[in-house]
Structures are given as C-alpha cells and as structure tokens.
Chain A
C-alpha cells in the first residue's frame, strides 16, 4: 500500500528556534498534502493544505508566517515551525493524496512529536 513517512518522528528544541518537519510519499506522487495538528486526547485539526508548486492554503486561525509550508516536489512537503514556543508543542501529522485520486483518498504519516522547552 501507499506509504507516507515523516522525519523526524520526535524533536525537542529550545524556545525561539525553528524546526523543520518533512513529509514524504515513498511510493506515489502526491499533488496535495495536508498538515494536521493533534493535542492530547483531542481530534486532528487541519492546519493547511498544500498543492505541489503553489502556495499553501491555511485554515482560519493558523498563522502562515508561523507555520511555513513548502511543497516543492510531488513527493515532499515540509512544515517549518518558526520561532517555536512551548505552546507550539504538539503532535504534527501529514497526509498525502495521490495524483488523480478521489478526494476521499488520503494516506497518513505516523506523525512528529514536537516538544519546545
């Protein structure tokens, strides 16, 4: 089946630093990738949708200058948390939709745990 990887799986950083999380589709091309955030015991919240070669579309309330998304190729999207603060600590999950597949088809990565000290 289709596999999506994320790197790193967990990261600890100091307040004020920036952290980059990679999302890769390993065996398919993804024209659309999604970034979610999950707080403990809460649901996944969509942060943004990125299409290859264009700017990401951010959900209401998500700071685009804080969470920079780049989707430079059909197999890679990156999320950069800039000037991270403790409140940015969370579980970040990406998903990818294969090229020419229905809107219901999304394959999820295993997530990245970010802890900001």
Chain B
C-alpha cells in the first residue's frame, strides 16, 4: 500500500541556516504530494504541493520537488527563521483520489 517516510526529528537549527527535511514515498501510479505545517496550538495547514513528476511546489520560501526517480519530495528552505518552528508533515494522495497518507511529522526548532 501507499506510505510516506520522513526523517525523524526534532531538528534544531540556528536562524538563517539551510533546512532540508527528507521525505520519501511508496505508491503505485502517480500520487499527488504535499507538505503540511502545524504551528503550536494550531491545525495543520497546507504549505505546498506538487501533482506530477518534476513539479516544484513553493510557498513562504519553502520548496519541494517531486522526484519520481527517487520517490522523494524533500522540503528545503534557504534561510530559516524562528517563526518557522513547527511540525512538518509530508503526505500523499493516490492518483485515483482517496485519502491523504501522512508521514510521522518532523519537529523543527529554530533558535535565534
């Protein structure tokens, strides 16, 4: 079945550091891929998405590229801020629609 694997957290970075959170997936066909972010005390919010191979999703300085050859969708940001501290979830939805499959989440803590 479909599954998503993320790097374990917590990840602790200094402000302005480069961020990578790894995400790999297993799925048949061509799923849509997502990154969600959950700030403390709030619900998950869609951060970015990509619906086909080689697409790049981007938002708020974050980027992720849909790599079918490596079945990956790694999240990157060139310079993190303290306000980026949150839990990040990678997710997929199968190419025939259906439910979202989430990774286990990666907690990011950015120190000033």
A contacts, CB < 8 Å to B: 4, 34, 41-46, 49, 59, 93, 95, 103-104, 106-111
Residues A43 and B105 in contact, CB atoms below 8 Å apart: yes
Whole-angstrom distance between the alpha carbons of A34 and B93 in the complex?
14
Interface residue stretch chosen among B14-22, B37-45, B72-80: B37-45
Interface flag for B112 (CB, 8 Å): no
If A4-B43, A41-B105, A46-B100 are given as contacts, then 11 extra A-B residue pairs at C-beta distance below 8 Å, sorted by A number, are A42-B104, A43-B105, A46-B99, A59-B99, A95-B43, A95-B44, A104-B32, A104-B46, A106-B100, A108-B44, A108-B45
Whole-angstrom distance between the alpha carbons of A49 and B99 in the complex?
9
Residues B89 and A43 in contact, CB atoms below 8 Å apart: yes
Q: Which residues from chain B contact A4 at a C-beta distance below 8 Å?
A: 43
**How many B residues touch A, CB cutoff 8 Å?**
22
B89 contact from A34, A44, A95, Cβ within 8 A: A44
Closest Cβ–Cβ distance, residue A6 to chain B (whole Å):
8
Interface flag for B108 (CB, 8 Å): no
Chain A residue with minimal CB distance to B39?
A110
Closest Cβ–Cβ distance, residue A93 to chain B (whole Å):
7
Q: Which residues from chain B contact A59 at a C-beta distance below 8 Å?
A: 99
Q: Which residues from chain A contact B104 at a C-beta distance below 8 Å?
A: 41-43
A108 contact from B34, B43, B97, Cβ within 8 A: B43
Closest Cβ–Cβ distance, residue A30 to chain B (whole Å):
13
Residues B42 and A110 in contact, CB atoms below 8 Å apart: yes
| CB contact list, B7-50 vs A, under 8 A | 32, 34, 36, 38, 41-46, 49
Chain B residue with minimal CB distance to A39?
B104
Residues B93 and A103 in contact, CB atoms below 8 Å apart: yes
Query: If the complex has contacts A103-B93, A104-B32, A104-B49, are A110 and B102 also in contact, measured as CB distance less than 8 A?
Result: no
